[in-house]
Structure 1
């Protein structure tokens, strides 16, 4: 038996759906870096939950969109790099838990403020429907370290 014969339909479906989820994650980084808040918010479900730090986030797409209002004036540039995407699907493949690694650089508009760096992980929940495809239902940013970053309190990764 060859390796190709051992690949199941489920295996192939997971590869295809993983690529679709990765695209949403990469679009998120692109829209954030390009200061496209409406496109960014559209990647989330209506009832989403987002946590960027303790007490910093939003519940619901509308509230999340409101948190994005200042990104065009707060940063002159950002660059978000996402890798190591690990996807675990529910049995029916309509939801997935996703972990990815983040490195982000931020250039602030405030003169004299040093560039900010963030190192950490995203912990996401995705849902899929026939109309919208995959979207974030939950996004939590966890930190392993920061340098001159504007958010002073982070959610730690929680190393063992």
Structure 2
């Protein structure tokens, strides 16, 4: 490999790393805005034609429908804490990535319910539009839960 090819290779690697960091930031912003009950900011992280699946029969198609699922989040939860890790990003094209991450979520309710815990995975399709990475599809798969308010969840598919 000559010096010019090497420089192009390094530049391509730096670009890839920058895109991955931007995608990670999207995942972290989702958790932050959800935990802060900032539903407008949270909704803005999704494309207009998004699909959100939190469990069988629980989710939304389209950003407006997703925003409706967030109504009342502040009165339902006293506090939440979402922790995202083990992020794997597969760039499928310059403008699309398939992402898998692990989530632990703690929920404190405004009702007389015990705190709940959820362990699982997010499986996402993330698309760049107008220079910004946004969720096209977000699916939650559950490894385990304790006192979680969503009674039907999708399994992770463990063999």
Of the candidates 27, 36, 39, which is equivalent to residue 37 of structure 1?
39
Residues 1-150 of structure 1 mapped to structure 2, 5 A cutoff: 8-90=10-92, 92-111=93-112, 113-129=113-129, 131-150=130-149
Distance 1:5 1:85 in 2: 28
Q: Report the 3-state secondary structure (helix = DSSP H, G, I; strand = E; otherwise coil) of the residue aligned with 1:159.
A: coil
C-alpha RMSD of matched pairs (Å):
1.6
In the other structure, the counterpart of 2:3 is none
Q: What is the SS of the residue equivalent to 1:156?
A: coil
**Deviation by residue 1:64-100 (Cα, 9 ceiling, x = unmatched):** 000000110100000000001110001x311000000
Distance 2:128 2:111 in 1: 40
Deviation per CA, 1:93-145, whole angstroms, max 9, x where unpaired?
1100000000000000112x11000000000000002x251000000000000
**Which TM-score applies when normalising by structure 1?**
0.92
Report the count of equivalent residues: 155
How far 1:10 sits from its partner (Å)?
2.5
Instruction: Give the Cα separation in 1 of the matches to 2:12 and 2:118.
Output: 36
TM-score (norm 2): 0.93
User: 1:11 Cα deviation (Å)?
Assistant: 1.9
Give the Å deviation of 1:7: 5.2
SS in 2 for 1:8: helix
Residues 46 and 132 of structure 1: CA distance in aligned 2, closer, same or farther (over 3 Å): farther
Structure 1: tracts of 5 or more residues without a match: none
SS at 1:155's partner residue? coil
